[in-house]
Amino acid sequence: MYSVNERLLLTLHKCAHRNHILDATILFIARFFIFFLVAGFFIIMGVAQPEALPFATLEFVVAFVVSLLFSVLIGYWYHMERPCERSDVKALFKPFHHGKTFPSDHTTVIFVCAGLLALWGMPIFSLVMIVCGLLVGAARVIAGVHYPVDIFGGALWGWFVGVLVGMLGQWFT
């Protein structure tokens, strides 16, 4: 008997390995789209509020380090095999490391950006970043390198850290 998390993984993973174009699209979104989103964060901040770009950059770096430090620590504490380490899930690509799956670092970083954009008064761009973060998360589940709960945990943690660091940054300036 599978848990809801495993059933959702297996349902989404059925989209993989059916079409080379779809697999290539999922692969791009799951592995590389994050770089365009982070670059987009800095472009948006630089165009919309150029005077705030140094503060936004500092906030991003602090939130990035804090969120990923937590992610690594909880990954060692809450060890769970990646879906692709199971016999019934074949990954679209080989992840950078095995074993550390919760929370998703990709989703965490994207939601850090979304939280910071929301606090910098750009709710539309924040919403776009959230949708893109969910898209990246879904692609990583379809690719077989994360469970849905990893995406959910990364989204919550990233949003929390982004908003917290952004609020502290506003308080100090």
Average pLDDT, the chain: 91
For residue 1, the model assigns a pLDDT of: 65
Burial class (CB within 10 angstroms; exposed 0-12, middle 13-18, buried 19+) of 10:
middle
Band the pLDDT of 99: cuts 50, 70, 90: low
Q: Which 3 state secondary structure label does DSSP give 121?
A: coil
Which residue ranges form the domains of the chain, and what is each CATH number?
A: 4-172 (1.20.144.10)
Tens digit of each residue's pLDDT (9 = 90 or more) over 18-32? 999 999 999 999 999
For residue 98, the model assigns a pLDDT of: 65
In whole angstroms, give the CA distance from residue 108 to residue 65: 11
In whole angstroms, give the CA distance from residue 134 to residue 95: 19
